[in-house]
């Protein structure tokens, strides 16, 4: 069923009454932002349940956890002040803090301008409640609670608090919900659940259920909210769920009697506690009958309401009977709809744990990074810009890019750590040793989690420095100027050339960007995530990931370089055309049980990065024999083996490296260089959004980022 647009429901009506400008924003965007304060066990649990119900939880607030995320996608801030700077259109806040520390937090939330505050906390000291209520009145805030189960708006699919999903809205037709129904205003959570079930069982819808709170002093009384709800055009009747204790019900009844014009809609009152003795609490701080007083009793409340012309009931059967009479037996939906919903709720299996990421979505022939196709990123963006996207979920401004350039260059200028470089050793193993022995990187990575981008960029700069030592090109970066560009530094490090060819530099960087990430399933990412889960330092986790880049994972590019070079050499030696020479080499590989690397992919039949790299190679003027062969290799392989294997990004990179005349090891260096950016992003996502030592199920990976 299609939910009611938010600007047609009761919640929007309440917000508009207090903050007209915010209501305009909601109407324009079609969504209502909420924030949850207090991320203990209950706050965390119900944040997930509210989100699953349909509530847009924009942020969470928890001291000491700023910069992290809950439920993978919800950012956490230190204070509400920090939050509203980033999210100025928060409309509702729910507070789940312990009563001992709730006063200052509640007042700060109210003073931030949020129009509706749901104060879940109970047993708040009376003097603290007084100050909170004063602040709410001053800032024209609707304050529900303390000690409220929350508020829920079934047609819109929005709830704030701990109310279960048992409420049912009007069915406008067979495809969409409508806004009309009964509004329940209650002091008790348990009572309103039973009332809702009773009404729904005979087809009476609820368009809103408002738990105003059960403590002795609360922010919004019946007298405050019932007249407001009366003016909402889609409310046909209001059910007041009161209980013994206090005089809220008597005050409302007196106002109804004096000002009937304020109450045009019918009201039915249910008062619980008819048999409670004087001085006995029913579980709420407010539900205590004061001995010897003529108010607060079931009898006094019943008399007051009946004097005002409001019928009073004391059970579900009588409630149904009275409401049906007032509504002339109107039905808002087929009863079978409600029963079917309950059946589904009962039979629904427990929700499987997901392993979510906001970074990369992998699908056949498409790689999406934070909503952007990787082929478009390869075409237009630098490695630093792509790193910003991986970690921040958006592209940087020119000022932010300049800042990253400075950090990367700062890292490049620092001498290579003292670590052995063994002849013939796999480059991944050497880089891993540099990472774990680099004291400068270790010190830098101790910065706050808020500096995750800076740490990642610094790490890329250090990788450039390590590669200069491995490739013996350090002389090219000894006198880097402060206004140098990281793209040029990468070119000087990888090629050994001092003079920079802009187009070739862009091509090399494009190959690096093409390798930045391939989701959560590659072994290098899995290794990094496992290390992050046990909170290994940044440089150690990167070393773990790089260590998993072997000939099996990440080594195809280097082998592809050797393959293309061999094909070109045989063609020249035998003076035969390149296709014939390639056919011979493939036949030889098959005979010797060797695999032609750079062909085939477990997901892609047409690697989305392929065409962009071919185009860039042509523009750079280096698309020679190997690149041309890479375009034909699939057909030649099919002729030789009878198998249709498309060329992948490793094969294209191998062909370009071969035509550039560079050391084959550079294909793997390019892969690792790019993958450092992706591994950094996954490391910080794990630290920010997940508990320590979580059980990671890589088969349950779910992308939750921007489409």
Name all domains of the chain by residue range, CATH numbers in brackets: 32-146 (3.40.50.720), 148-354 (3.40.50.261), 360-550+666-692 (1.10.580.10), 556-664 (1.10.230.10)
**Spatial contact of 370 and 358, defined as CB atoms under 8 Å apart:** yes
- Orientation angle between helical segments 665-689 and 649-660, nearest 10 degrees: 140
Intra-chain end-to-end CA distance of the chain, in Å: 23
Residue written as token pair 């129904």: 181
- Orientation angle between helical segments 538-547 and 452-470, nearest 10 degrees: 50
What are the start-end ranges of the E strands in 176-275?
Answer: 177-178, 181-186, 206-211, 235-243, 267-272
Nearest-angstrom CA–CA distance, 349 and 506: 52
Q: Which of 122, 258, 272 is nearest to 193 (CA)?
A: 272
Burial of 283 (0-12, 13-18, 19+ CB in 10 A): exposed
Residue 298's pLDDT is 86
**Two tokens, residue 430:** 């050497």
Q: Which residues contact 190 (CB under 8 A, 6 or more apart)?
A: none
Bridge-based pairing state of the strands 142-145 and 116-119: parallel
Chunk the chain into consecutive blocks of 10 residues (it has 707) and report each block's average pLDDT, rounded to whole numbers.
95 97 97 95 92 95 89 91 96 95 95 97 92 96 95 97 91 94 90 89 96 91 96 97 87 96 96 65 47 70 94 92 96 94 87 81 94 96 98 96 97 93 92 96 93 97 96 90 93 93 95 95 94 96 96 91 95 94 92 88 90 95 94 92 91 95 94 97 93 80 84
Residue written as token pair 């407010």: 286
Nearest-angstrom CA–CA distance, 321 and 201: 12
The distance from CA 1 to its chain's CA centroid, rounded to whole angstroms, is 25
DSSP three-state, residue 176: strand
In total, the chain counts a number of residues equal to 707
Q: Which helix or strand (DSSP H or E) is residue 547 part of?
A: helix 538-547
Residue 670's pLDDT is 96
**Which residues sit opposite 270 in a β-bridge?**
241, 313
Nearest-angstrom CA–CA distance, 675 and 518: 9
Catalytic sites, residue numbers: 284
Nearest-angstrom CA–CA distance, 492 and 87: 43
Nearest-angstrom CA–CA distance, 488 and 495: 11
**Spatial contact of 393 and 706, defined as CB atoms under 8 Å apart:** yes
Q: How many CB atoms lie within 10 A of CB 607?
A: 23
Q: Which of 167, 182, 180 is nearest to 268 (CA)?
A: 182
**Spatial contact of 119 and 146, defined as CB atoms under 8 Å apart:** yes
Nearest-angstrom CA–CA distance, 480 and 485: 9
Task: Enter the pTM of the model.
Answer: 0.80
């Amino acid at each position: 069923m299609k939910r009611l647009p938010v600007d047609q429901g009761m919640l929007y009506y309440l917000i508009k009454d207090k903050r007209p400008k915010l209501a305009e924003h909601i109407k324009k965007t079609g969504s209502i932002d909420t924030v949850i304060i207090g991320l203990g066990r209950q706050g965390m649990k119900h944040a997930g349940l509210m989100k699953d119900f349909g509530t847009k939880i924009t942020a969470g607030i928890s001291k000491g956890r700023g910069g992290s995320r809950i439920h993978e996608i919800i950012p956490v801030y230190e204070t509400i002040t920090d939050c509203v700077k980033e999210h100025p259109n928060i409309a509702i806040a729910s507070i789940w803090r312990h009563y001992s520390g709730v006063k200052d937090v509640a007042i700060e939330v109210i003073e931030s301008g949020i129009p509706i505050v749901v104060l879940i906390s109970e047993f708040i000291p009376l003097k603290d409640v007084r100050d909170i209520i004063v602040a709410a009145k001053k800032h024209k805030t609707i304050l529900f609670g303390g000690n409220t189960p929350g508020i829920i708006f079934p047609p819109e699919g929005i709830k704030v608090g701990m109310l279960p999903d048992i409420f049912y809205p009007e069915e406008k037709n067979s495809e969409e919900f409508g806004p009309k129904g009964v509004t329940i205003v209650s002091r008790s959570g348990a009572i309103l659940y039973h009332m809702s079930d009773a009404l729904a069982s005979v087809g009476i819808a609820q368009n809103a259920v408002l738990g105003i709170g059960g403590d002795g002093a609360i922010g919004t009384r019946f007298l405050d909210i019932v007249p407001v709800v009366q003016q909402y055009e889609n409310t046909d009747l209001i059910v007041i769920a009161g209980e013994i204790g206090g005089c809220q019900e008597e005050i409302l009844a007196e106002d109804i009697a004096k000002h009937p014009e304020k109450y045009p809609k019918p009201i039915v009152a249910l008062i619980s506690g008819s048999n409670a003795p004087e001085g006995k609490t029913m579980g709420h701080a407010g539900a205590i009958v004061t001995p010897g007083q003529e108010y607060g009793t079931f009898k006094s409340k019943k008399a007051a309401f009946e004097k005002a012309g409001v019928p009073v009931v004391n059970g579900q059967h009588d409630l149904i009977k009275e409401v049906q009479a007032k509504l002339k037996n109107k039905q808002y939906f087929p009863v079978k709809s409600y029963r079917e919903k309950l059946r589904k709720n009962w039979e629904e299996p427990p929700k499987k744990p997901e392993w979510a990421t906001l970074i990369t979505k992998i699908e056949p022939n498409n790689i999406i990074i934070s909503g952007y196709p990787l082929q478009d990123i390869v075409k237009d963006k630098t490695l630093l810009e792509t790193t910003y996207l991986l970690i921040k979920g958006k592209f940087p401004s020119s000022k932010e890019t300049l800042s990253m350039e400075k950090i990367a260059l700062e890292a490049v200028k620092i001498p290579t750590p003292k670590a052995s470089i063994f002849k013939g050793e796999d480059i991944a193993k050497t880089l891993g040793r540099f990472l774990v022995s680099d004291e400068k990187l270790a010190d830098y990575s101790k910065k706050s989690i808020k500096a995750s981008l800076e740490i990642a960029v610094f790490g890329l700069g250090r990788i450039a420095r390590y590669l200069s030592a491995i490739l013996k090109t350090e002389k090219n970066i000894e006198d880097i100027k402060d206004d140098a560009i990281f793209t040029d530094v990468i070119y000087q490090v990888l090629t050994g050339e001092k003079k920079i060819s802009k187009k070739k530099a862009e091509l090399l960087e494009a190959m690096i960007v093409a390798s930045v990430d391939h989701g959560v399933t590659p072994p290098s990412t899995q290794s990094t995530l496992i290390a992050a889960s046990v909170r290994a330092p940044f440089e150690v986790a990167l070393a773990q990931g790089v260590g998993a880049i072997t000939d099996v994972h990440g080594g195809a590019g280097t082998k592809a370089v050797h393959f293309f070079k061999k094909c070109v050499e045989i063609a020249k030696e035998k003076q035969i055309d390149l296709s014939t020479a390639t056919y011979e080499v493939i036949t030889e590989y098959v005979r010797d049980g060797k695999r032609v690397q750079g062909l085939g992919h477990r997901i892609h039949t047409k690697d989305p990065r392929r065409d962009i790299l071919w185009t860039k190679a042509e523009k750079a003027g280096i698309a020679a024999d190997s690149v041309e062969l890479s375009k034909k290799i699939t057909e030649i392989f099919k002729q030789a083996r009878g198998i249709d294997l498309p060329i992948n990004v490793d094969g294209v990179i191998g062909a370009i490296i071969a035509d550039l005349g560079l050391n084959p090891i550079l294909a793997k260096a390019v892969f690792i260089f790019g993958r450092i950016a992706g591994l950094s992003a996954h490391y910080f996502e794990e630290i920010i959004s997940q508990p320590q030592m979580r059980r990671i199920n890589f088969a349950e990976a779910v992308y939750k980022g921007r489409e």
